[in-house]
Chains A and B, each alone.
Chain A
Amino acid sequence: MAADKVDPIHQFQIHPIIPIHIGGYDLSFTNSALFMLATVAVAAAFLYLSTSSRSLVPGRLQSVSEMAYEFVGNMLRDAAGTQGMKFFPFVFSLFMFVLVANLLGLFPYFFTVTSHIIVTFGLAALVIGTVVVYGFMKHGLGFLKLFVPHGVPVYLLPLVVLIEVISFVSRPVSLSVRLFANMLAGHITLKVFSGFVVSLSALGAVGVAGSVLPLAMAVALTALELLVAFLQAYVFAVLTCMYLNDALHPGH
């Protein structure tokens, strides 16, 4: 029982809340699904309610919503130009979803949606899928120019194309693993240090005195995780913008 409490992996367990089985697949409404729903609900409610007054001079909450909106908008415009603005809702949704999921995960006893590789991979595949589908829709086979950079000597071309293809294929992997690994590692570290506090305190007065150190560490790590939550959402959105730029302008 005590070991179960300190088990740093326990927080990533998925257990069904409402079992649903359709066509042989287990599509149960799990704690993961619950927190996806919570993420979406919190983000949507915040954006909706904070802007409901439509003030000319924004209040604090409306400023936050506008800042997020303009932040993502500028990011996308810088990376992909004005043409890229048709993906603004997509990138903004991704940024808000990842950001709010990361932030919600910081609450004790909350499940972190983005600490599961399948979720981050789903989002990354969505990004790359959008890039590929839109790239071929807009440029046809010209989209393949993405793999042939300008100004490369002919004898180097096979090697360069191979490298470009590998780099493109590894994009969804790196995009998803980066977010997943950051969230997973951060939460495990937090849990381990918090576990130290509990274990040491059980040893008596000396242990309680000694537990101050991991406690301070856990507090510092929480601040770091807050930063990481923002940073990873930002990185995810920035990379999405850059990949979308490839779909818009494949000729480098």
Chain B
Amino acid sequence: MFVTSAFAQESAPAATEADTHAATGVPAEAHGTFPPFNPATYPSQLVWLAITFGLFYLFLKRVVMPRVGGIIDVRNDRITQDLDHAARLKSEADAAVAAYEQELAEAKGKANAIGQQANDAAKAEAEAARKTIEAALDQKLGEAEARISSIKANAMKEVGAIAEDTASAIVEALVGGKASKAEIAAAVKSVAG
């Protein structure tokens, strides 16, 4: 569209120029003229430029550019798609790792709880056993102490009687007479007391 409109503007003055040259009788293949500045060649060059460039433009616009653009778009789509896919896989992997870690933490917690429980039970059992044994020992200790004190009391009682006997025997040997039992007991008691 632009090709033809712009070209029309351009070709008109060039054409008139060629016309004037034709009118003045300048030969088309003028020798001595610098070829790029030879106006006789202008109409032909412009026409063929318009034809070739116009076709080239249409071919690129209709065929080549949609194709190259398509290739690049498809590639970009594919890259974004692959990146999305990779991101999705990564997030899935992250989620799996997180789940694994959570399960691991739970299992650890459970194991700790079980261990703690077993520990507590064992402690309590040991404590109970210790307490019964201590109670039994305390009881035996009490019994033993009672027995000791009774034996001690008996022994103390017998100590008095022995002292009286001994005293009466000593008195008998020294004095030669018999001392009354009551007197001796009083004397022993006063000494012991």
In the bound complex, how far is the Cα of B47 from the Cα of A27, in angstroms? 7
Considering only residues 147-186 of chain B, those with a C-beta below 8 Å from chain A are none
Please judge, given known A-B contacts A12-B36, A118-B36, whether A26 and B19 are in contact too, CB under 8 Å. no
Considering only residues 72-93 of chain A, those with a C-beta below 8 Å from chain B are 88-90, 92-93
Instruction: Tell me if A39 is interfacial: C-beta within 8 Å of chain B.
Output: yes
In the bound complex, how far is the Cα of B67 from the Cα of A122, in angstroms? 28
Contacts of B49 in A (CB 8 A): 36, 119, 122-123
Question: Count the B residues whose beta carbon is within 8 Å of the partner chain — how many?
Answer: 50
Instruction: Tell me if B191 is interfacial: C-beta within 8 Å of chain A.
Output: no
A19-49 to B contact mask, C-beta < 8 Å, 1/0? 0100011111110110011011001100110
Instruction: Tell me if A126 is interfacial: C-beta within 8 Å of chain B.
Output: yes
B37-59 to A contact mask, C-beta < 8 Å, 1/0? 11011111111111011011101
Contacts of B44 in A (CB 8 A): 14, 16, 20, 25-30, 32-33
In the bound complex, how far is the Cα of B67 from the Cα of A47, in angstroms? 10
In the bound complex, how far is the Cα of B35 from the Cα of A134, in angstroms? 34
A45-72 to B contact mask, C-beta < 8 Å, 1/0? 0011001001110100010011001100
Instruction: Tell me if B104 is interfacial: C-beta within 8 Å of chain A.
Output: no
Q: Are A66 and B52 in contact, with the CB atoms below 8 A?
A: no
**Once A and B bind, how many residue pairs between them come within 8 Å at the CB atom?**
158
A134-176 to B contact mask, C-beta < 8 Å, 1/0? 1000000000000000000000000000000000000000000
Q: With both chains docked as a complex, state the minimum distance between the C-beta of B46 and any C-beta of chain A, in angstroms.
A: 5
In the bound complex, how far is the Cα of B3 from the Cα of A37, in angstroms? 17
Contacts of A89 in B (CB 8 A): 57, 60-61, 65
Instruction: Tell me if B10 is interfacial: C-beta within 8 Å of chain A.
Output: yes
Q: Are A129 and B2 in contact, with the CB atoms below 8 A?
A: yes
Q: With both chains docked as a complex, state the minimum distance between the C-beta of A208 and any C-beta of chain B, in angstroms.
A: 32
Q: Are B57 and A33 in contact, with the CB atoms below 8 A?
A: no
- Beta-carbon nearest neighbor of B53 in chain A: A97
Contacts of A33 in B (CB 8 A): 44-45, 48, 52
- Beta-carbon nearest neighbor of B41 in chain A: A14
Instruction: Tell me if B97 is interfacial: C-beta within 8 Å of chain A.
Output: no
- Beta-carbon nearest neighbor of A29 in chain B: B48
Q: Tell me what chain A mostly uses at the interface: helix, strand, loop, or mixed.
A: helix
Considering only residues 57-85 of chain B, those with a C-beta below 8 Å from chain A are 57, 59-61, 63-65, 67-72, 74-75, 78
Q: Are B42 and A118 in contact, with the CB atoms below 8 A?
A: yes
Q: Are A129 and B6 in contact, with the CB atoms below 8 A?
A: yes
Contacts of B41 in A (CB 8 A): 14, 26, 30, 32, 116, 118
Instruction: Tell me if A226 is interfacial: C-beta within 8 Å of chain B.
Output: no
- Beta-carbon nearest neighbor of A100 in chain B: B56
Binding site for B on A (CB under 8 A): 9, 12-16, 20, 24-30, 32-33, 36-37, 39-40, 43-44, 47-48, 51, 54-56, 58, 62, 65-66, 69-70, 88-90, 92-93, 96-97, 115-119, 121-123, 125-130, 133-134, 180, 184
Q: Can you give 27 contacting A-B residue pairs, CB < 8 Å?
A: A9-B35, A14-B38, A14-B41, A26-B41, A26-B44, A27-B47, A32-B44, A33-B45, A36-B48, A40-B53, A40-B55, A47-B60, A56-B78, A65-B68, A66-B71, A89-B61, A93-B61, A118-B41, A118-B42, A118-B46, A122-B45, A122-B46, A123-B49, A123-B53, A126-B6, A130-B6, A134-B2
